[in-house]
Structure formats: C-alpha cells, structure tokens
C-alpha cells in the first residue's frame, strides 16, 4: 500500500470517529457531501507525481504523517504566543481561526449592516445554511484528494456575504493559526452580490517550528460587476505543510484581483481556478514566492475562458535559495466561444544558490481564433550586466545584489494597493532576504 | 467577399495532389505481430543473430508497455495485429545496380511527385537513397561519397557491411525501451538509412532520403542512424509524400543522431503525408521518435522541420547536450488544417557546461485542426552556464481550430538562463487589408503573411527544401481565411 493510500485510510478512520462532532449531521445534504468526498478520497487517495497536475510536487511526506483532524477541543496555543503571531496586523476588522476553528476572543468582526454579513461558517451552518449549499458543493470538474479531505472535514471558516451593491469599507483580515500535529481544514466562502465590493486578506501563520497540515479551501462567487481584491499570505511555520485551494466563479463584468505571497511551509501549494460564467469579466492573479532551505513551493493556476470578452493576467515571480524548489504551472484554456479573450501569463524566477531548482509550465490551450494570448517564462540568476553597471558606479557587490533582488521582488509588491499590508510584507521580505545576504551566502 | 469565398472554398477542397497508388507487386508478410513475424523479417533481410536478438528484446519490452495517452491527440485505438509489418517491392532479389535498373514504375512514381530522381540528383548534387515502402531501392553518388570515406547506405546494408558501427551506436540515443512506439520500431523496423561521416570530413552534398508509404495497410517502421565523427559535418534531408488511402496508416520511425567532438549534424524534414480528407478519414498516423546526442565537446545538432501532412503528428525531435559547449537547435513549422492534429515540439536536455539551445516553433491552425507545441527544457545540475531561448508562436485561422502550448521548464543550475516566450494570434486583418487594397488576392496575401510568419524557420532549410516548403504552406493554407 502506498503512503498516499495509507493516508486515505487513516483519514477515513478519523472521519468515523469525528463524524458526530462535525457540523452538518443536520442538514443531511452536508453529511452526504462529506461521504461523497470520502468516497473520492478512498478511491483516488492523495495525489502522487504520476498525476500530471502534481508532477513536480511529491506529497508522500505529508501522506506519511498521520495528522489528527482538529477536533473542537484541540489545544489552542497560549494567548501570548497567539498575539505575537497576529502581529503586525492590519488594524481593521479581523477574524481569527485556530486549527481551523473560530476564536471569538481575538476576533473583531466588522459591524453588521449595509448588506454586509460576516460570520463563522460553523455558525452559518448551525442556522441551516441552505442558501450556502450550492457554494459548498463538490467542486465542478476535478478535485484532488486534498479537496476531498477538506470537504470531508470542513467545520469552520469565514462566511462572507455581500448583498447587491454592498461595500465592505475596510479590508477584512482573516487569520488562520496552525497548531501542533493537527490537520486544519478551513473552508471559506465569499459570496458577492451584483456590484458589491470588498477587500479580503487571508493570512496563514503558525508557531515557529510547528509541524501541522493546513488544508484550506476558499470559494468565491462574484455576481455581475462585483469587485473583490483578495490577498493570500502564507507565513506558515517552516516545518508545516500548506495545501490551499481557491476557486472563483465570475459573472459578467466582475473583477477579481488577487495577490498570493508564499513565504512559509516546508511543502506548500496554492491552487487557483477561475471560471468565467459571464462576459467581460476580468481576473488578475499576482504572486510572489520566496523559499530557502529545503522548502518546496508550488503555484498551480487554471483559468477557463468559456465566454467572450474576458481578460486574465497571471504575474508570478519567485526567489529561490538554499535547496529550495519552486514550481509554477499556469494554464489558460480558451474555449471555442470565448472570442476576444485577452490572456497573459508571466512567470519569472531567480535562482540564488547552486541547489535551488525551478520547474515552470506556462500553458495555453486555445480553441478560438480571435484572441490575444501570450505567455513568457524565465529562470536565471541576477543579470550580470546590471550587477556590473552598479559595481562600476562604486556600489559594493552585496549592496548591488541586494538592490537587484529588491527590484525584482518590488514588481509584485508594487501591485499591492493596500499600504499597511504592503509595508508589513516589505518588512517581512527584506528581513528574510537580508538575513541571507548578511550570512554572506 | 462571396466570390472570394467560392474561390477559397475550392482551394480548401483541393484534393491531395500526391494521392495515387502505384501498382507494384509487394512481397509481404500477412498482418499480425508475434516473435515469428520478427524472426521472418530478420531472416528476409539476412540479418545476423545479434540483430535478431536485439529486435526480440525490444519486442518483449514492448509487450509490457502501455500505449501512451498523454498527447493532445485523439484517434481510434490501433489494432497492432491488423498491420502488415513487412512489404518489399518486387525487385528486391535482383536489386538494381544503377538507376537504369530501377523498376520504371517506381521512377514514374517519383516523376508524378515531381522528384525526377536522376535529374534532381544531378542538378542539385543530391545523393538520394530512396526508400520505397520498406526497402531501399536506389542509391546514388555512392562512389563520390565513398572516396571521402562517408558511408551512406540502407540500414540493412549497414547491418551486413558495417556491423561494428551499427552495434556501437544503434539504440545508444533511443534505447529499445525508450517509449511504446520506439520499442515497436526497434522490434520490427523494416529499413532506413545509415550515415557515417568520418573524422574531419565535411560531406560535400546534402544527403537525402525520400520516404514513401505505398503498399496498402503497411506500417512504415524506418530506422535512421547518423553518426558524425570528430570535426565532421553532414546535412541530411528527409522528405515525405504518400498516396491517398482510406485506412489509417501507422508510421513509427526512429531517428538517432550522434555528434562527436566538434561535429555538426543538420537534419531537415519536410513532411507532407496524406492528412486524411475533410472529415479526417484516412491519413497517416505519424508517431516518430527523433533524438540526437551531442556526445562530444562543441558538437552541434540542428533539427528543422516543416510538418504539413499526416492526420496525426506526434514527434519531438530532441537534443541531449552531453558535451561541453555543445549546441542544440530546433526550428519547426507545423500546420494543421481540416481535422489534422499535431502534438509536436522538442526536448533540450542540458548536461554539459556552457551548452546552448534555441527553439523556434511556429504553429498554424486552420479548419478544425488542433496544433500543440509540447517542449521540455531541462538544465541539470552539471550544466554550468547553460542558455536556452524558446519562442513559440501560434497563428489561428478560423474559429474551429485550436492552438496549444505546453512548455516544461526544469532548471537545477543557478547559472542557467532560460527564457520562454509564446504568443497566439489570428492572422492580422490589417495585413490582409493592406495586401487586398494593393490588388493582391486573398490567397496570395495569406501565403505571404504565413511565409513571413514562418520565415525564421524556413531560412534554416536548405535551398531546394525551402522552395518546396513554401509551396506546401501555400497549397495547404490558401483560402483558410476569407
């Protein structure tokens, strides 16, 4: 039996034990959904590198560890530790989840009213949650073993509903804190009515040295002309595993702008799938990954252009040091009726050390002729000419490298129009990159 | 535009020019594949024991291999027991000693194809080792090449005359169990070409083989092996046409190139096999394994291909850059019209220091054609200072076709510079308008624009091929836009 197959059995047993504790015995449809997901997990197991989508990411080390799905009573890190993890914060409304479950003591949800409704998913399900049913359903198309695992164990997360025309004035900060040896399965829903708008920041943190698995799944549904600015910040412990999935459905004229920054996790993967269900929608996916040591960081993007006149952009950059490995897979599918599609893809990676590795797959699949599609990918080291230029002007080698790396990363940071977040990120990044420079590597 | 549309429709429906069957008696084995068939093929060719063993070994591997399904192509399952694995033209036993002795029917076929063998050979200085079905029937300019020590002969002859060279290099680039179709080829290959260019020799003429599939439901399993010894140079041309058929025909060739220190091999292909009718019936399945290894320091291998034919093309001419400072190049034009499918590209594996590779791929899709570029650029840890530049452009004509790009980039050395660029667009309305306004007809304008789009690749072709290729593109594409 393979590690991934064994893992499936482990989680099936865990499910049998925890089933009574999971929300959704009532309504019965939720229980049915979990069973369906488990069946998938039991037959397919967790993915292996034999699956084309997981060719470069081997999760057997995740599968080999039997994490316990977080139960309601799972240990919570002490208050002081939690507060230190929540630094620096954004100052606005905040929802905190520990081991995937809502922690009201540290949360400050936004005020109700104005058509904005923000609550923990567990609370929403306790109230019946029939209206959420279509948004929780097994994802259309293929889901991986991790999607199934999340569906089986999802218990809580953020449930954000915006009525037509509603505006969430301040950025909403969602923080997910990992524990020790647990599997956390947060499930988030963002349902934005027509012409509504919001900014949501998803942040994942964990205690230093903590070993746990975060398997998170966020569903976003944007109705006509809705606008969502979304940030996803992975600051997991460097020994933790992070599997994240983001699925977005966009109606006509809607706009989704996302920036994913991956700094943490021993093995981390973020999968983003965008499906346009209306014409003239726009999606922009920006990303930055910085990895060192033995970190493995994977971004897997899939955009389906099914209808005419939609625009998509993927802009991902990465810096890899130590024996880190970066993976980027971006696929744009332009279906036969999706004329006037404008799709762009760009992936650039810097390799700073001898043992770093990058695997990139920027892919286009196009079935319509009146489209504009382009992609580019580069992998390399710092530009020798640029270094020479700086050195010739009296800038020291270390300083020159520092400047060039900052400029490389800066392209992504400049796309973050939220000053407190950008500043916090800059501090985090520079601290990390400069530590490396100081070590003289 | 409606008159223009009529003309264009007529052009689109233009029947395959090279579609006809030459009635020649074939000495064939019954359809089917088992160890006895392989023994029979080997015996008919009078092969030594080691060759038979090699074939059988490949066959046993093949039996255990699943047929690959990952390519972006769709076709009904192939019944490997329904294929004739050996067919030889009648004149095999008393093989012609010179052109005059070649079966006139055969020569006539070449005439129809517009390849007057003797004339062309003489005028263009091309030595033609013509493969008609499975056995080489004519070889020219052998003496001239022989004086320089260049060996250019059919594969069967090489097995008999130069067994030490064949044994040394056969399967060293494409091993028997490399992939499903390569294993099949290794088991049943019928014939092909063998070239050896000795140390320091620059081959004075372009070597050329015309492949042609003829006898009904005969799969062609060509095996080509080209070895360029230290400091030598050879340019090899491969061109293909096939008669019109109702049944699908499988073609699973293997081409192996070995370039030693400072040697250079230039391999050019124009592939124009029968693509099937408008509904995609008939047409050749072209499942080919082509790979070259730059085994020596400073070696260079360059692949240039113009792929306009076949119902399905599935090939990835690749370069293994083992030697330091070695160079790999891939220039490709792939065109799919009607229901043609192409999944083609290259692999550049950088192993030696300062190895360089260039990939220029131009895909053109029209009608309901599906065209995919699939390529791998791999930089291993040892490939200090490796450099790759890849450019893949796709041109779409018509709203039912598809153009896909699946590049894989794997980099394990920080000193490597790898760049990939790709664009997809439809044929420019502005450019068309500009031409039309100046009295250039739509089809001429399309040909001009497409030839411009492919220029970077076409200029890599040897002169006589470039002319043929441009004509081919014109014939296959005019009228795809209206």
B376 touches chain A (CB under 8 A): no
A interface with B, Cβ–Cβ below 8 Å:
52, 336, 339, 349, 351-354, 356-381
B428 touches chain A (CB under 8 A): no
Candidates A136, A125, A118, A321; CA nearest to A238 is: A321
CB A324 within 8 A of CB A356: yes
pLDDT digits (tens, 9 = 90+) for A94-121: 999 999 999 999 999 998 888 999 999 9
Looking at beta carbons, which residues of chain B come within 8 Å of A381? 414-417
Q: Return the structure tokens found at A331.
A: 């696929």
For the residues of B70-139, what is the DSSP string, one character each?
A: -SS---PPP-GGGSB--EEEGGGTT--SSGGGS-HHHHHHHHHTT--HHHHHHHHT-EEEEEETTEEEEE
pLDDT digits (tens, 9 = 90+) for A12-45: 888 888 877 776 566 678 888 888 898 888 888 8
Looking at beta carbons, which residues of chain A come within 8 Å of B410? 357-359
| φ, ψ at B207 (rounded to 5°) | -85, 140
Task: Reply yes or no on whether the pLDDT at A64 is more than 50.
Answer: yes
Length of chain A, please?
Answer: 441
Q: Residue-wise pLDDT tens for chain B (482 aa)? A: 344 455 545 544 555 555 555 555 556 778 888 898 899 888 888 899 999 999 999 999 999 999 888 888 888 888 888 888 877 654 434 444 455 555 555 455 455 445 544 443 433 334 455 554 444 434 456 677 888 999 988 888 899 999 999 999 999 999 988 999 999 999 998 888 899 999 999 998 888 765 444 444 445 788 999 999 999 999 998 875 544 444 557 888 999 999 999 999 999 988 877 777 777 777 888 899 999 999 999 999 999 998 888 888 999 999 999 999 999 999 999 988 888 899 999 999 999 999 999 999 999 998 888 999 999 999 999 999 999 999 999 998 888 889 999 999 999 999 999 999 988 888 888 888 999 999 998 888 888 888 888 988 888 888 767 777 777 777 666 556 54
CB B390 within 8 A of CB B377: yes
Q: Return the structure tokens found at B377.
A: 């650029």
Looking at beta carbons, which residues of chain A come within 8 Å of B397? 369
The model carries a pTM of: 0.85
Q: Return the structure tokens found at B389.
A: 């530049």
| φ, ψ at A67 (rounded to 5°) | -75, 145
Please report the pLDDT score of residue A26 as a whole number. 62
B62 CB-contact burial (10 Å; exposed 0-12 / middle 13-18 / buried 19+) = buried
Q: If you measure CA to CA, which chain B residue comes closest to A341?
A: B425
pLDDT digits (tens, 9 = 90+) for A239-293: 999 999 999 999 999 999 999 999 999 999 999 999 999 999 999 999 999 999 9
Name the CA radius of gyration of chain A, rounded: 21
Candidates B265, B193, B192; CA nearest to B235 is: B265
Name the CA radius of gyration of chain B, rounded: 22
Exposure pattern of B304-335 as b/e (b: 16+ CB <10 Å)? bbbbbbbbbbbbbbbbbbbbbbbbbbbbbbbb
Looking at beta carbons, which residues of chain B come within 8 Å of A371? 396, 424-426
Place of tokens 């493969």: B131
Candidates B105, A187, A136, B101; CA nearest to A128 is: A136
CA distance A142 to A148: 10
Candidates B284, B311, B277; CA nearest to B219 is: B284
CA distance A195 to A223: 7
B424 → closest Cβ in A336, A371, A379 = A371
CB pair distance less than 8 Å for B417 and A378: yes
Q: Give percent above pLDDT 70 in chain A.
A: 95
Length of chain B, please?
Answer: 482
CA distance B341 to B401: 10
């Amino acid at each position: 039996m393979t590690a991934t197959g064994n893992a499936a059995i482990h989680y099936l047993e865990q499910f049998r034990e925890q089933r009574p504790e999971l929300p959704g015995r009532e309504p019965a449809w939720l229980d049915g959904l979990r069973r369906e997901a488990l069946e998938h997990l039991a037959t397919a197991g967790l993915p292996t590198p034999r699956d084309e989508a997981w060719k470069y990411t081997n999760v057997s080390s995740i599968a080999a560890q039997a994490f316990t799905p977080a139960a309601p009573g799972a240990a919570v890190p002490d208050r002081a530790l939690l507060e230190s993890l929540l630094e620096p914060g954004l100052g606005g409304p905040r929802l905190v989840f520990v081991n995937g479950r809502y922690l009201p003591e540290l949360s400050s949800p936004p005020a109700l009213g104005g058509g904005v409704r923000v609550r923990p998913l567990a609370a929403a399900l306790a109230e019946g949650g029939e209206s959420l049913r279509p948004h929780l359903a097994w994802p259309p198309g293929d889901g991986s073993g991790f999607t199934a695992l999340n569906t089986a164990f999802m218990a809580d997360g953020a449930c954000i509903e915006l009525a037509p025309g509603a505006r969430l004035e301040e950025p909403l900060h969602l923080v997910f804190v990992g524990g020790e040896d647990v599997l956390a399965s947060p499930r988030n829903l963002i349902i934005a009515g027509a012409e509504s708008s919001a900014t949501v920041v998803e942040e994942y943190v964990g205690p230093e040295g903590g070993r746990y698995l975060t398997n998170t799944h966020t569903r976003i549904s944007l109705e006509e002309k809705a606008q969502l600015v979304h940030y996803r910040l992975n600051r997991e412990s460097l020994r933790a595993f992070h599997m994240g999935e983001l699925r977005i459905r966009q109606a006509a004229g809607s706009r989704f702008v996302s920036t994913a920054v991956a700094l943490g996790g021993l093995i981390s993967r973020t999968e983003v799938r965008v499906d346009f269900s209306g014409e003239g929608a726009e999606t922009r996916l920006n990303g930055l990954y910085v990895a060192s040591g033995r970190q493995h960081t994977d971004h897997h993007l899939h955009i389906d252009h099914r209808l005419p006149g939609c625009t998509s952009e993927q802009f991902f950059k990465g810096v890899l040091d130590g024996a880190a490995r970066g993976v980027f897979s971006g696929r744009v599918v332009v279906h036969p009726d999706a004329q006037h599609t404008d799709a762009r893809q760009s992936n650039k990676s810097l390799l700073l050390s001898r043992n770093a590795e990058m695997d990139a797959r920027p892919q286009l699949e196009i079935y319509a002729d009146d489209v504009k599609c382009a992609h580019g990918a580069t992998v390399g080291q710092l530009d020798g000419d640029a270094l020479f230029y700086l050195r010739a002007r009296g800038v020291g080698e270390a300083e020159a490298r520092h400047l060039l790396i900052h400029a490389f990363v800066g392209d992504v940071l400049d796309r973050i129009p939220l000053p407190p977040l950008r500043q916090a990120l800059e501090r985090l990044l520079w601290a990390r990159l400069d530590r490396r420079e100081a070590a003289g590597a | 535009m409606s008159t223009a549309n009529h003309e264009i429709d007529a052009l689109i429906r233009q029947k395959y020019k090279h579609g006809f069957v030459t009635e020649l008696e074939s000495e064939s084995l019954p359809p089917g594949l088992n160890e006895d068939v392989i023994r029979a093929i080997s015996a008919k060719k009078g092969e030594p024991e080691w060759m038979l063993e090699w074939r059988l070994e490949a066959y046993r591997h093949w039996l255990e291999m699943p047929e690959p399904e990952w390519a972006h192509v769709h076709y009904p399952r192939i019944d490997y027991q329904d294929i004739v694995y050996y067919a030889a033209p009648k004149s095999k036993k008393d093989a012609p000693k010179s052109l005059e002795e070649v079966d006139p029917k055969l020569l006539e076929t070449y005439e129809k194809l517009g390849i007057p063998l003797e004339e062309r050979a003489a005028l263009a200085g091309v030595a033609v080792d013509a493969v008609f079905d499975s056995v080489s029937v004519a070889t020219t300019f052998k003496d001239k090449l022989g004086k320089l020590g260049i060996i250019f002969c059919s594969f069967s002859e090489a097995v008999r005359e130069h067994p030490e060279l064949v044994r040394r290099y056969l399967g060293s680039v494409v091993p028997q169990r490399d992939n499903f179709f390569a294993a099949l080829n290794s088991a049943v290959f019928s014939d092909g070409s063998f070239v050896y260019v000795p140390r320091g020799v620059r081959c004075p003429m372009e070597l050329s083989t015309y492949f042609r599939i003829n006898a009904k439901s005969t799969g062609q399993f060509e095996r080509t092996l080209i070895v360029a010894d230290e400091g030598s140079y050879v340019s090899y041309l491969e061109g293909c046409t096939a008669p019109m058929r109702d049944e699908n025909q499988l073609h699973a060739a293997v081409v192996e190139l070995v370039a030693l220190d400072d040697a250079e091999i230039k391999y050019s292909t124009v592939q124009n096999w029968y693509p099937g009718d408008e509904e995609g019936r008939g047409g050749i399945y072209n499942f080919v394994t082509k790979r070259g290894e730059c085994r020596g320091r400073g070696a260079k291998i360059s692949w240039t291909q113009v792929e306009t034919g076949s119902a399905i093309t599935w090939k990835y001419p690749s370069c293994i850059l083992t030697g330091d400072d070695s160079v790999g190049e891939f220039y490709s034009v792939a065109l799919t019209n009607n229901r043609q499918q192409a999944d083609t590209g290259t692999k550049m594996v950088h192993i030696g220091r300062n190895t360089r590779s260039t990939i220029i791929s131009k895909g053109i899709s029209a009608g309901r054609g599906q065209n995919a570029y699939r390529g791998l650029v791999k930089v291993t840890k040892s490939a200090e200072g490796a450099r790759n530049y890849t450019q893949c452009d796709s041109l779409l004509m018509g709203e039912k076709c598809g153009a896909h790009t699946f590049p894989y980039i794997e980099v394990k050395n920080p000193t490597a510079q790898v760049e990939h660029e790709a664009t997809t667009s439809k044929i420019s309305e502005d450019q068309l308008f500009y031409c039309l306004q100046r009295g250039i007809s739509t089809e001429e304008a399309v040909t001009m624009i497409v030839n411009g789009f492919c220029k970077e690749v076409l200029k890599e072709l040897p002169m006589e091929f470039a002319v043929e290729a441009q004509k081919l593109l014109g014939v296959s594409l005019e009228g795809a836009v209206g």
